[in-house]
Structure 1
Amino acid sequence: MRFEFIKCHGSGNDFPLIDARGLTLPDAQWAAIARALADRAGPVGGDGLLLLVDGRDEAPFGQRMFNPDGSEAETCLNGLRCVARAGFDATGLDAALVGLPKSDAWAARVADLAPGVATIATRVTSVSANARDVGLTVGDRFVDAPIPGLPSERRFTALTMPNPHLIAFVDVVDEAELVALGDWCESAPPLIPGRANVSFVAMVDDGSLFVRTYERGVGLTDSCGSAMAASVHAAALTGRIGWDVEVVIRNRGGLVRGRTKVDPSVEIAGNATFEYRAAVDFAPDTGQLGAVTLIEDRAVERDAWRSLLTASRN
């Protein structure tokens, strides 16, 4: 079985992306492909596998995303920008609804963050602070409040984007504490059997947010798009920023622009960088990858993103 794929990233959240329109592989096979392609010890590596899939209803195309452990996520907003760009390239559109497994999201090409940095804006309206929507088995709603049964005394805001997030605002991000709590949630405890993404968020002096996330099915990650969206919405819910105000969200992988509204919705604008296009053989019987064959290098795009990162950190 041979696949072409694009190695891409949104705000440093990197993925192999396959155009799977018209393909009818069973989910177990996609899960196996994700485990092989996204394996950091393998020839490609990534924070998961993105699929550009056929659309439905008013959405001309859709997105699926499989984590490196083979589980499927409801969405991935950093990945969504990359999938939307691939969908726009394939269809000739510049804006469209994108079908997600449990919802839809709007996406559009917008002005570049910097010269040569392809930029896509996404808007998610499937936002909820209902504890049951988040997957919690206690309470009705948690906004800057302790969550009974969680092994942390911190105050959290629980949200879906539509995947589940627990957001705590901190003065300083303690990565060891974040990993310990993320590992606990990853064990699918009775409090949240579907697991959750956990983020510590620090307010920066320049008014931006710094987000560090333990991503469900991934672990500690340099960037998680839905966590950045959840953090912006949580900051507005708790009065830390205003509604409908643009804010910069930073993480280890880079930065995006974000804005949230009471309706509720969250809009994120960030890069969708294509690093290279390649092909690889996959053996379904063993789950092993063959050699990767480079088809097209996108060095100019990689360099443009690195220049933006350097400028943003100076």
Structure 2
Amino acid sequence: MQLAFIKCHGSGNDFPLIDARGLALSDAEWAGIARGLADRDGPVGGDGLLLLTDGDDPAAFGMRMFNSDGSEAETCLNGLRCTARLGFELLGIDGALVGLKTSAADVAREAALAPGVATVRTTVGPASVSAADVGLTNGIDSVIDAPIAGLPTERAFTAVAMPNPHLVTFVEHVDEDELVALGNWCEAGPALIPARANVSFVEQRGPTDLYVRTFERGVGLTNSCGSAMAASVLAAGLTGRVPFGRDVRVFNKGGLVRGRADVARNVTISGNATFLYDASIEVDPATGVAQSLLIHARRDDEARAWESALAELA
């Protein structure tokens, strides 16, 4: 089947984005499409597949996100900004409540981070600090800046559900080999956390600057993960590293966002929603094979604006 999509990115987290309203496909078919379109060795590539869906009142529209392995995530905040922008443009609105897999988020257009950079604000929460909600099966109530028995590391973690599960640890320096090893351990679905989890190593680079590196569930080591950045902002507040209510700059390999957490565990993230090109492609949902990519229009001005913004904001 042939599908139209927009290639987009939020803070370097890149996706094909499909207006799926009115497309009657099964979850298995969408999973196959995600594997085909998000395959880094295929014609498109991405960290996953975004779907703009119809909303259930009071949500103006919805979002679904499938990882590159075909699994469905509860949320994706970098992808949410891009999906929200498309929803705004198609519906002629500037803000909305968006329905997610197991929750909802408030989204709104925001003043540009830099000239030419489309910017969207997302607010999610309250996030849960229940260990059970994060998927830990060891019977503890919560984990705040503490080691987790059974995890193959003695590092102290903070476990939060955004609502997708995150294990966040603050480090002096990010060791990617250590992060990947721990991420792969979690990815195997061990008894301690059978539904897997996103794992983030976070450097605090000043009173209100964080650098986040994430092994994303269903994806692997990624340049950016929006919900991980939100989880890191919340973890910084929960552990007293950054006061609640304080604006935080969150950096990653893909760029940066601005974040803020409050004592009620709500997290606001503002960042880019950059559209790179409009295209269509032939994809077989059953086999996950994508081919015959046709690019209709490139949005090079947006790509250049983001690159310029990175040079100035960083």
- Report the TM range for the smaller structure's normalisation: over 0.9
Aligned partners of 2:30 and 2:285 also within 8 Å: no
Question: Counterparts of 2:101 and 2:288 in 1: how far apart (Å)?
Answer: 25
Question: Counterparts of 2:234 and 2:51 in 1: how far apart (Å)?
Answer: 27
Q: What do the CA deviations read for 1:98-131 (whole angstroms, capped 9, x no partner)?
A: 0001010000000000000000000001400000
- Matched with 1:190 is 191
Aligned partners of 2:120 and 2:273 also within 8 Å: yes
Question: Counterparts of 2:60 and 2:311 in 1: how far apart (Å)?
Answer: 36
Aligned partners of 2:32 and 2:287 also within 8 Å: no
- Taking the TM superposition and a 5 Å limit, the aligned residue runs for 1:119-138 are 119-138=119-138
In percent, how many aligned pairs have the same letter? 63
- Matched with 1:84 is 84
Report the CA distance between 1:285 and its aligned residue.
4.6
Q: Does 1:14 align with 2:14?
A: yes
- Matched with 2:278 is 277
Report the 3-state secondary structure (helix = DSSP H, G, I; strand = E; otherwise coil) of the residue aligned with 2:143: coil
The AA in structure 1 aligned to 2:291 is G
Q: Does 1:147 align with 2:176?
A: no
The AA in structure 2 aligned to 1:177 is E
Q: What do the CA deviations read for 1:2-43 (whole angstroms, capped 9, x no partner)?
A: 100000000000000000001110000000000000000011
- Matched with 2:305 is 304
The AA in structure 1 aligned to 2:119 is T
- Matched with 2:162 is 161
What is the aligned residue count? 313
Report the CA distance between 1:48 and its aligned residue.
0.1
The AA in structure 1 aligned to 2:294 is T
Unaligned runs of 5+ in 2: none
- Matched with 1:295 is 296
Question: Counterparts of 2:312 and 2:125 in 1: how far apart (Å)?
Answer: 32
Question: Counterparts of 2:148 and 2:286 in 1: how far apart (Å)?
Answer: 44
The AA in structure 2 aligned to 1:150 is L
- Taking the TM superposition and a 5 Å limit, the aligned residue runs for 1:196-211 are 196-205=197-206, 207-211=208-212
The AA in structure 2 aligned to 1:118 is A
- Matched with 2:224 is 223
Report the 3-state secondary structure (helix = DSSP H, G, I; strand = E; otherwise coil) of the residue aligned with 1:189: coil
Change (3 A) 1:45 1:242: same
Unaligned runs of 5+ in 1: none
Aligned partners of 1:126 and 1:160 also within 8 Å: no
Q: What do the CA deviations read for 1:42-98 (whole angstroms, capped 9, x no partner)?
A: 110000000000101200100000000000000000000000000001111101000
- Matched with 1:95 is 95
Question: Counterparts of 2:285 and 2:180 in 1: how far apart (Å)?
Answer: 33
Report the 3-state secondary structure (helix = DSSP H, G, I; strand = E; otherwise coil) of the residue aligned with 1:305: helix
Question: Counterparts of 2:112 and 2:207 in 1: how far apart (Å)?
Answer: 22
Report the CA distance between 1:290 and its aligned residue.
2.0
Aligned partners of 2:126 and 2:264 also within 8 Å: no
Report the CA distance between 1:283 and its aligned residue.
2.5
Report the 3-state secondary structure (helix = DSSP H, G, I; strand = E; otherwise coil) of the residue aligned with 1:59: coil
- Matched with 2:182 is 181
Q: What do the CA deviations read for 1:130-159 (whole angstroms, capped 9, x no partner)?
A: 000100012110000010100010000000
- Matched with 1:27 is 27
Change (3 A) 1:214 1:285: closer
TM-score by length of 1: 0.98
Change (3 A) 1:24 1:126: farther
- Matched with 1:68 is 68
- Matched with 2:252 is 251
Report the 3-state secondary structure (helix = DSSP H, G, I; strand = E; otherwise coil) of the residue aligned with 2:81: helix
Change (3 A) 1:285 1:267: closer
Question: Counterparts of 2:245 and 2:286 in 1: how far apart (Å)?
Answer: 51
TM-score by length of 2: 0.98
Report the 3-state secondary structure (helix = DSSP H, G, I; strand = E; otherwise coil) of the residue aligned with 1:212: strand
Change (3 A) 1:140 1:254: same
Q: CA RMSD in A?
A: 0.9
Question: Counterparts of 1:283 and 1:156 in 2: how far apart (Å)?
Answer: 41
Report the 3-state secondary structure (helix = DSSP H, G, I; strand = E; otherwise coil) of the residue aligned with 1:145: coil
